[in-house]
Amino acid sequence: MISAGDFRNGITIEYENSVYQIIEFQHVKPGKGAAFVRTKLKNIISSGVVEKSFRPTEKFPTARIDRKDMTYLYQDGDMFNFMDLESYDQIALNEDAVGDSLKFVKENETVKVCSYNGNVFAIEPPLFVELEITETEPGFKGDTATGATKPATVETGALVYVPLFVEEHDVIKIDTRSGEYLSRV
């Protein structure tokens, strides 16, 4: 059990028959009245975000989220196959569980599979990946004064906006959280 006064970012709690992760919290002590904790909570199953206020003495059960390293093997139709790195057990997940979290992940790369009570609800890709550009238009000299970008398709099929000097077959580093180009490799 955790009290609202002990909330921190990233903690997962059970609240109203659902599991929420604390995105933001703020302890508020108004000039008149009792103190309270204002929070922004993300439902880990539906990904919905809600704002709630709690008294600092309210208690909630903490939710245990299991994060397991697994290798993304391959996609078979609308099923995605993963292998446990320790036991070599394989699991297949449908597109609903995976979402678009694998758009920057190549086959045979390690990802974190997040589950609650044995039910997988999310796939966490590595924070940074290096991918080759398979298709992009050539940049034009003189267009760089404004920090211009152009669309480029990487080897996984995802679209990334890159600076004009980046060409086809270049290997680039991408932040998977935002989908932003970071650098050439």
pLDDT tens-digit series, residues 46-72: 778 899 999 999 999 998 888 899 999
User: 143 exposed, middle or buried (CB, 10 Å; 0-12, 13-18, 19+)?
Assistant: exposed
Kindly report the average pLDDT of the chain as a whole number: 87
Rounded to whole angstroms, the Cα distance separating 101 from 67 reads 15
**pLDDT tens digits along 101-136:** 888 999 899 999 888 888 887 888 899 999 999 998
Q: Residue 83 is encoded by which pair of tokens?
A: 């292998």
pTM of the model: 0.72
**pLDDT tens digits along 132-166:** 999 988 876 665 566 788 899 999 889 999 988 88
**pLDDT tens digits along 23-39:** 899 999 988 888 999 99
With a CB cutoff of 8 Å and minimum separation 6, the contacts of 139 are 150, 163, 164, 165, 166, 167
Rounded to whole angstroms, the Cα distance separating 73 from 81 reads 5
Query: What DSSP designation does 140 have?
Result: -
Rounded to whole angstroms, the Cα distance separating 170 from 185 reads 8
What is the domain partition of the chain in residue ranges?
A: 2-60, 65-124, 128-184
Evaluate whether 175 touches 127 at the Cβ level (below 8 Å).
yes
Radius of gyration of the chain (CA): 21
Instruction: Tell me whether the CATH fold assigned to 65-124 matches the one assigned to 128-184.
Output: yes
* CATH class belonging to 65-124: mainly beta
Question: Right CATH number for 2-60 from 2.40.50.140, 3.30.1360.120, 1.10.10.1800, 2.30.30.30?
Answer: 2.30.30.30
- Residue indicated by tokens 């059960």: 61
> Could you tell me the CATH superfamily of domain 128-184?
Nucleic acid-binding proteins (2.40.50.140)
